[in-house]
Structure 1
Amino acid sequence: MAMNMHSRVHIPLLLLGALLLGACGKTAPSAAAGEEHAQGHDDHAEEAEGPEAAHADRTVIPAEIAQEAGIRVAPVGPGTIADAHEVQGLLTPVDGRTAQAVARFPGPVRTLRANVGDTVRAGQALATVESNLSLTAYTVSAPIGGVVTARHAQLGGAAAEGAPLFEIADLSTLWVDLHIFGNDTQHITAGVPVTVTRMTDGVSADTTLERILPGTATASQSTVARALLRNADRLWRPGAAVKARIVVATTPAALVVPLAALQNMQGRDVVFVRSGQDRFEARPVELGQRDAAQVAVLSGLRAGEQVVIAQSYVVKADIGKAGAAHEH
């Protein structure tokens, strides 16, 4: 009887344990299924984030941030690649546009009415000299209009007959004498376009090569090519050094981009194409001929696509950050 009572006590406990064990068995698969469902949801979420999440060669830069960073885009289109030569030279007055105001008779200088740097007109009085022959004063006038570049007379000083008192130059146009060396002399001929740039402030002016001088510059042993430069603002000054770009020939290209658009990523030449308002993609390109400003694109782009032409390194850096974040 005692044994039976003991058995009755333990049978319900055994049944309770079996029930609990069964309940635990059902709970474990549910948790696993939940984890699988969560993982599946994460996978779909990653797909829903768009190609930027899966590609390290794209990034998103909001329009206002791109503007603040100086990022500029322009459509790809046709252009020309120039065979250009970079040279240096000097500005000089044009032959026949300089003159001297001289004393006709000997005598002391009584008045001076112009200084170096003054702009004078033809016939304007520059000085008076008292003639030793007649003991009367006569006027020395400017033979041409222009700028006084030198004054040799002193007030009260003696002027000899025929002595130059002033030098005047018409600086409205100047010669640009460009020095060409070596094999470049075989390619550069009269009639080709030239862009001349001031070294002081970077201002440029376009002109045409007029002639190749027959001699050789003694000091530099260079060939001198000469072009005429208009100087309406008088900021081009004789004696100043300049640099110039002489374009010998041009080659048409179906698509060109500025050199500033190019970047190198993982050993490839790329440009950054904008799609929409704020998405930028690194596009590998095959390049052709180039000059000092732009390069021909043989493949990788279509006409009209918007390419970053300024601050492209900013886009490259942002893509680099996005790729590093994606790896982590």
Structure 2
Amino acid sequence: MKPTHLIPALALALSLAACGGDSDQPAKDTPADETADHGTEADDHGHEAGEVASTVIPAEIAEKSGIKTRPVGPGVIADEHEVQGLLTAVDGRVAQISARFPGPIRSLRANAGDQVRAGQTLATIESNLSLSTYSVTAPISGVIVERNASVGGLASEGTPLFEIADLSQLWVDLHIFGADAQHIQPGVPVTVTRMSDGETLLTTLERVLPGMATASQSTVARATIDNTDSQWRPGTAVKARITVAQQPVDLVVPLTALQSMDGREAVFVREGETYQARHVELGVRDATQVQILSGLSVGEEVVVAESYLIKADIGKEGAAHEH
């Protein structure tokens, strides 16, 4: 059990113990011969053959424990490829600024990290040719990513003083290995995830580059992301899911709904405050959900969060029946 769920799980167990049901009632006397003649088999959880495994959890306790349900319905199963990549500045959105004429630098008016606009003065230089001072201005709007100058230093003709990048958009270069490259074409959806905090955004694959990345021997697929909030930084490693195809299906549940019961996959269906285990036959799946072939009907309420608490409580009830 995950540590973050210890308190809800303990609260659920204590509350259900307090709600006890019939567990404290004395068992009725059963003649020995009747027991011998009409014995029943029990499953791994102590439930008699043919008995439906279920438990009752008051709504207030379910809410405090984080148990959530969702109606079963149609959905789309995605054929996805998990890849990694790197954010880079977009070609044509980076500019290097040099001195037009050599001479000493008289002033600097911007530092690395500053946002500047096109035409803004970045430095003044005294020309060795005319002995007059001229201004060096920004050719594009963006952020200064490098400054290679100091006041009083000598600016040589053609030597970059500043580098400016427009980072309002970035390229995502994704590395695809082996045969996966044959299945990935431009125009498909891509979900990009920032590794530092899990933030995601959706974009579209624009092109698959013709060459191979020399170091990794991978095919590079490229997409563009919006970065107007400046939260995505060039050089950052990211992961992504490239959706190659999508298959509509009649019934889906999230993977979080599944639990193993008696060696088979099961979900828990809620009716009022009763949670009933239901064995299901599974079809295709993706990273987050799975197709249901049989065992459920459209509209039934299925537990999609903290389903393991339901399994644990049914197991506890089964153990009580064994005694």
- TM-score tier after normalising by the smaller chain length: 0.7 to 0.9
**Could you list the runs of 5+ residues in structure 1 that have no partner in the other structure?**
1-37, 41-51
CA distance in 1 between partners of 2:203 and 2:80 (Å): 14
Q: 1:312 aligns with which of 307, 311, 318?
A: 307
Task: Give the CA deviation at 1:39.
Answer: 4.9
| Aligned residues of 2:104 and 2:126 also touching (Cα < 8 A) | yes
Instruction: Tell whether 2:68 aligns with 1:84.
Output: no
Q: What is the match of residue 54 of structure 2? A: 58
| AA at the equivalent of 1:136 | S
User: Could you report, residue by residue, the CA deviation over 1:14-52 in whole angstroms, capped at 9, with x for unpaired residues?
Assistant: xxxxxxxxxxxxxxxxxxxxxxxx759xxxxxxxxxxx9
> Are 1:141 and 2:148 matched, yes or no?
no
- Once residues 68 and 115 of structure 1 are traced to their aligned partners in structure 2, the CA distance between those partners, rounded to angstroms, is 52
Partner in structure 1 of residue 103 of structure 2: 107
> How far apart, in 1, do the equivalents of 2:120 and 2:150 lie?
18
Check conservation: 2:47, 2:53, Cα contact below 8 A: no
Matched position secondary structure for 2:187: coil
What letter is aligned with 2:180? D
TM-score (norm. length: structure 1) = 0.83
CA contact (8 A) 1:216 1:222 kept: yes
Aligned-partner residue type, residue 299 of structure 1: S
- CA–CA distance in structure 2, aligned partners of residues 193 and 288 of structure 1: 23
Once residues 176 and 29 of structure 2 are traced to their aligned partners in structure 1, the CA distance between those partners, rounded to angstroms, is: 71
Name the counterpart of 1:226.
222
2:262 pairs with 1:266: yes
CA distance in 1, matches of 2:171, 2:222: 7
Q: Is the 8 A contact 1:53 1:326 kept in 2?
A: yes
What residue is the counterpart of 1:131 in the other structure?
Answer: 127
Instruction: Indicate which of 277, 282, 285 corresponds to 1:282.
Output: 277
Determine if contact 1:147/1:169 at 8 Å carries over to the other structure.
yes
User: How do residues 157-168 of structure 1 correspond to structure 2 at under 5 angstroms?
Assistant: 157-168=153-164
Give the residue type in structure 2 aligned to 1:98: V
Q: Contact between 1:56 and 1:322, CA under 8 Å: does it hold in 2? A: no
Over aligned residues, Cα RMSD in angstroms? 1.4
CA distance in 1, matches of 2:318, 2:270: 18
Percent identity for Structure 1 against Structure 2: 68
CA contact (8 A) 1:114 1:126 kept: yes
Please tell me the residue identity of whatever aligns with 1:269.
E
1:257, 1:236 → 2: CA distance?
Answer: 33
C-alpha distance in 1 between matches for 2:152 and 2:124: 10
CA distance in 1, matches of 2:47, 2:312: 17
Partner amino acid for 1:287?
Answer: L
**Alignment check: 8 A CA contact 1:73 1:307 kept:** yes
Code of the residue aligned with 2:307 in structure 1: it is S
1:184 is aligned with what amino acid? D
Q: Secondary structure of the equivalent of 1:314?
A: helix
Deviation at 1:86, TM superposition (A): 0.1
CA distance in 2, matches of 1:266, 1:226: 46
Counting helix residues as a fraction of each chain, which structure ranks higher? Answer: 1
**Residue 195 (str. 1) matches residue 165 (str. 2):** no
Structure 1, residues 77-116: CA drift from partner, whole Å, max 9, x if none? 0001111000000001111001012111101111111111
What's the offset of the Cα at 1:57?
Answer: 1.3
Structure 1 residue 56, shift from structure 2 partner: 6.5
Match of 1:236 among 232, 235, 240: 232
The answer for unaligned runs of 5 or more in structure 2 is: 1-27, 31-45
Structure 2: distance between partners of 1:207 and 1:257: 25
* Aligned-residue offset at 1:244: 0.3
| Alignment check: 8 A CA contact 1:56 1:323 kept | no
Q: Which residue of 2 aligns with 1:302?
A: 297
- Whole-Å Cα distance in 1 between the matches of residues 47 and 270 of structure 2? 17
Amino acid at match of 1:85: H
Which amino acid in structure 1 is aligned with residue 187 of structure 2? Answer: G
Paired AA for residue 285 in structure 2:
R
| SS across alignment from 1:183 | helix
C-alpha distance 157-186 of structure 1, shift in aligned 2 (>3 A): same
> Partner of 2:42 in structure 1?
none
- Report if aligned partners of 2:52, 2:277 keep a CA contact under 8 Å in 1: no
Q: How does the TM-score come out when normalised to structure 2?
A: 0.84
Counterpart secondary structure, 1:67: helix
Measure, in 2, the Cα distance between the counterparts of 1:220 and 1:141.
40
What SS is found at the alignment partner of 1:317? helix
